Amino acid sequence: MSKQDYYEILGVDRNSNDRDIKKAFRRQAMKYHPDRNPDDETAEEKFKELNEAYEVLSDAQKKAAYDQYGHAGVDPNMRGGGFDGGFSDVFGDVFGDIFGGGGGGRRSSVQRGADLRYTMELSLEEAVRGVEKTIKVPTLVPCEPCDGTGAKKGTSAKTCGTCGGVGQVRMQQGFFSVQQTCPTCRGEGKVISDPCNSCHGQGRVEKTKTLSVKIPAGVDTGDRIRLSGEGEAGGHGGPAGDLYVQVSVREHAIFERDGRHLYCEVPISFIDAALGGELEVPTLDGRVKLKVPSETQTGKLFRLRGKGVAPVRGGGAGDLMVKVVVETPVSLNSRQKELLREFQEATKDGQKKHSPKRHSFFDSVKKFFED
């Protein structure tokens, strides 16, 4: 099989300089790259040819040999070790910024442990005042007998012979040389020939850790508290991850919280609402008296300053907003009903005066239907 000229493959003339050759290769290789032409054998073949041509023409020594002896000077079947290694580097050099591959430097076998998340439910009071809680977290901790190394006491992990401790190996797949995770050590770079019995070479064991967590006053749903180094133990003596305690505040029977402010509803009798009076209202610190003026309408908000929540991120305490809701009396006996009818009679002619809202409302309704 006669081979096509390398210069022709790249589409450059014999006097082209390095930059032109690289540019030509890059342009063509982009076009025929297997990633862009899946399952296209012609493109794959073309791509291999391009690589071969570039491999030779981008190397001054090989280029000189090719220029002088043609294909015989650079017979790919006679490739030495340097050729293989060189290919991957060239590949990385040209494609590193496009396809994000190639490099893969020496990786450390030490791994940081995973972060953990723990959702902590708090009552509103606990969230507002702060609390110290004991939690149990299932996690991975360093194995004690082997000190987290995974190797039986008195022995130690050895550098992997397959990859020389790099954790990656080059595999030849047809024309391509690809970098893969070392199958012997699974990328760790080390092999344990005599694994620890307790952790089976993992260096970590599962354990439910009991921790005391201080929750600062003023936290709210969605806040996170980071416990540095309380996550999973790292692999092979690596640093531990962090534990994030996620706060979730339960609904409260009386109060509703909105940031710094608390809200609650307090029922009031229609008599207290009309005549005014003193209402006992709840706060997080106990009951307080609230003076309700006469002629208080239902739904009116009373603000109790400073009876809200001091947020965890600082700033003063918010307010407690008390909404009074007039309660219509129920289960009245005949005497009570009689009194109300009497009252009704007494205010019958003064609707405009005693119930101005109702009066103006029905005025508007009347006008609405007349127009």
The binding site for Zn ion (CB under 5 A) comprises 143, 146, 160, 162-163, 182, 184-185, 196, 198-199
Asked if 283 and 256 touch (Cβ cutoff 8 Å), the reply is: no
In whole angstroms, the minimum distance from the beta carbon of 147 to Zn ion comes to 8
Alpha carbons 88 and 176: distance in angstroms, whole number: 8
In whole angstroms, the minimum distance from the beta carbon of 143 to Zn ion comes to 3
Alpha carbons 255 and 251: distance in angstroms, whole number: 8
Alpha carbons 225 and 359: distance in angstroms, whole number: 57
Is 24 or 160 the residue whose CB approaches Zn ion more closely?
160
Alpha carbons 257 and 249: distance in angstroms, whole number: 10
Is 23 or 152 the residue whose CB approaches Zn ion more closely?
152
CA atoms within 13 A on the CB side of 56: 25
Compute how many other C-beta atoms are within 10 angstroms of the C-beta atom of residue 236.
22
In whole angstroms, the minimum distance from the beta carbon of 146 to Zn ion comes to 3
Is 155 or 269 the residue whose CB approaches Zn ion more closely?
155
**Helix residue ranges per DSSP H, the chain:** 6-10, 18-32, 41-57, 60-69, 81-95, 124-129, 270-275, 334-347, 351-354, 356-370
In whole angstroms, the minimum distance from the beta carbon of 131 to Zn ion comes to 36
Burial class (CB in 10 A: 0-12, 13-18, 19+), 33: middle
Compute how many other C-beta atoms are within 10 angstroms of the C-beta atom of residue 109.
18
Is 180 or 355 the residue whose CB approaches Zn ion more closely?
180
Is 167 or 218 the residue whose CB approaches Zn ion more closely?
167
In whole angstroms, the minimum distance from the beta carbon of 148 to Zn ion comes to 7
Is 94 or 160 the residue whose CB approaches Zn ion more closely?
160
DSSP 155: -
Tokens of 322: 């008390």
249: left (phi over 0), alpha (psi -120 to 50) or beta: beta
In whole angstroms, the minimum distance from the beta carbon of 67 to Zn ion comes to 41
Alpha carbons 142 and 109: distance in angstroms, whole number: 16
Is 204 or 307 the residue whose CB approaches Zn ion more closely?
204
Which backbone phi and psi does 122 adopt, to 5 degrees? -125, 150
Is 205 or 317 the residue whose CB approaches Zn ion more closely?
205
